[in-house]
Amino acid sequence: MDLDKFNIPRYLRSLPLFSSTAEEEMARLAAGCSLRRFERGANIFNMGEACDGFHVVVVGQVKLFVVSPGGNEKVVELCGPGHSFAEAVMFMGVPYVVSSQALADSLILTVSKEAVFHEIEADRRFALRMLAGLSRRLHGLIKDVEAYTLHSGVQRVIGYLLSNIDPERASDGPASESTTVTLPASKAAIASRLSITPEYFSRVLHELESAGLIEVDKRDILIPDTARLANYQPA
């Protein structure tokens, strides 16, 4: 992809946050954006660095993570194409509280804090859309805490697989249909995201496969019957 020919205004308009932004506002926002390539394994930012904007994954896969004093890594979030991150930190005016790394060759769009604040002052509807986005992120974090405290490891894995189904197909709950989910990252990264060990994650996949609920082909997970998987109760 030729970065010089990348149409930033058109891409921004494809995101829910900016979909109803007027042409003049879009031009100002686009002028406050930067586009960068990151090779697999490259850090996008490190915890403690100053935050001067938020980021959107255009192409690729990004993990947000923290490292304990003992060197153990905990994956906080996995972000694929169209996902944004670091909005809350930008508004708080504090350094990054997590680090981020490209899990694949990635293209990242950064929207500057200055451009965002200017549009918030100019259009309260833009501010409301930003608040809605942050609220969705908070709701997701609450669901994560609920899963870690109330759900078993098997239930977390099943929930994760079902959450990666096309949102339009999953909007009314899992129907009795067949679908394939492609894991967006390594099993180790996903296991960390679910607060389980990679070994346990593999055992759960094997258990579900033995029960005829999934078929594993490297990163592709075929789910013959999504409703049956959703209703599975481990012994």
Percent of the chain with pLDDT over 90: 60
Is residue 174's pLDDT more than 60? no
DSSP class per residue in 13-66? HTSGGGTT--HHHHHHHHHTEEEEEE-TT-EEE-TTS---EEEEEEES-EEEEE
Is residue 169's pLDDT more than 80? no
Is residue 167's pLDDT more than 60? no
Please give the pLDDT value at position 164.
83
Is residue 171's pLDDT more than 50? no
Length of the chain: 235
What is the average pLDDT score of the chain? 88
pTM, full prediction: 0.81
Q: Show the domains of the chain with their CATH numbers.
A: 3-148 (2.60.120.10), 151-230 (1.10.10.10)
List CB contacts of 90: < 8 A, sequence separation 6 or more. Answer: 51, 52, 53, 54, 113, 116
Based on DSSP, count helices (H) and strands (E) in the chain, helices before strands. 10, 11
Is residue 132's pLDDT more than 90? no
Is residue 175's pLDDT more than 80? no
Average pLDDT over residues 74-82: 92
3-state secondary structure of 208: helix
Percent of the chain with pLDDT over 70: 93
Encode pLDDT of 44-67 as tens digits. 999 999 999 999 999 999 999 999
Is residue 72's pLDDT more than 80? yes
State the pLDDT confidence band at 20, using cuts at 50, 70 and 90: confident
